[in-house]
Amino acid sequence: MLAPQADRVMALGEWEERWQNDRIGFHQPHVHKMLESNIERVLAGRTGVRFFFPLCGKAVDMKWLADMGHSVVGVEISEKAIKQFFEDNNMTYSEEPVPAIPGAKVFKGSEKNISLYQCDLYNFSSSIGGQFGAIWDRGALVAINPRDREKYAALIISLMAKDCRYLLDTLLYNPELYKGPPFLVPDEQVNSLFGNSCDVERLQSFDSLTDRQRDWGLDYLNEHVHIITPKSI
C-alpha cells in the first residue's frame, strides 16, 4: 500500500523554499477543528500544560493554546515561518542561539509562553526542550519522509512525559494517485510505530476531500485522529 511513496524524499531545503515562495497550502488560518473538538481529551483536566508542536510552521493553534495559559514549544526549519507567526499575531519576541545545536536559534515570545526552535527536528531532544504533557501533530508525521518514520516516532516517544496526551492527525488516500506530501499513514503503521510503548486510540475518522485534493488527482481522502498515551508501567 505504501510502496509508491516508500522512497519519496523531501529535502529540508524544499520545505524552506515552499515557505520562501509562499507555497504553504498546508497552513490553516484558523484553529484546527480536530484540536478544538478534542481539547478536553488532551488536557484531561490539567492546566498549564506544556505542548509540543513538531514542524509547527506558523500554526495559529499555538497562540490559541498559549491564550488559555498553556506553554508551547515548536520546532520548524523555516525562520520565515517562525517570524511570520509572531508578526501575524502582533507578538514581540527575542531571538537567541541554541548552544547545543550549532546554527540553531530559538525565538521566544515576550507576552506568551511560546518558544519556537529553528532547526532540523531530529536535532531537537528532551535534553534541549524537556518533556511534554501534550503533543499536537497536525502535519508532521504526514510530512516527514516515509523512510524516517521510525526515527520520528522514537523522538516523539522520548519527548512524552508520563502523563502526555499525543493528538495525531493522519491521512488516508490512494498513493497510486498522488506522490505526497502529505503522505499516506495507515492506522496499522500508527500502531506499529507507537503501539509497543503507548496505548493508541482512534478518536475520529471523517471525509476531508476538497477541491484542492481533487486537483491532486485524489478520489477520496479520509482524516483519522488518534490519541496516544504512554503505557503505565
The tens place of each residue's pLDDT in the chain, 233 residues long, gives 556 787 776 666 666 677 566 655 555 678 999 999 999 999 999 999 999 999 999 999 999 999 999 999 999 999 999 999 999 999 999 999 999 999 999 999 999 999 999 999 999 999 999 999 999 999 999 999 999 999 999 999 999 999 999 999 999 999 999 988 899 999 999 999 999 999 999 999 999 999 988 998 999 999 999 999 999 85
Contact present, 115 and 72 (Cβ < 8 Å): yes
pTM, whole model, 2 decimals? 0.91
Q: Which residues contact 129 (CB under 8 A, 6 or more apart)?
A: 52, 73, 115, 117, 159
Angle at 113 between CA 201 and CA 168, to 5 degrees: 15
Residue-range domains of the chain with CATH: 3-230 (3.40.50.150)
Q: Write the pLDDT tens digit of every residue in 71-89.
A: 999 999 999 999 999 999 9
Give CA–CA dist 77/28, Å, rounded.
Answer: 18
pLDDT at 28: 65
pLDDT at 9: 67
Contact present, 53 and 74 (Cβ < 8 Å): yes
pLDDT at 224: 97
Contact present, 140 and 74 (Cβ < 8 Å): no
Residue type, 108: K
Residue type, 154: A
**199-202 long-range contacts, Cβ below 8 Å, gap at least 24?**
199/228, 199/229, 199/230, 199/231, 200/226, 200/227, 200/228, 201/226, 201/227, 201/228, 202/226
Give the H/E segment covering residue 115: strand 114-118
C-alpha cell at 8: 519519496
For 231, which DSSP code? P
Residue type, 190: V
Contact present, 119 and 74 (Cβ < 8 Å): no
Task: Specify the pairing of strand 222-230 against strand 105-109.
Answer: unpaired
Cα 196 versus chain centre, distance: 21
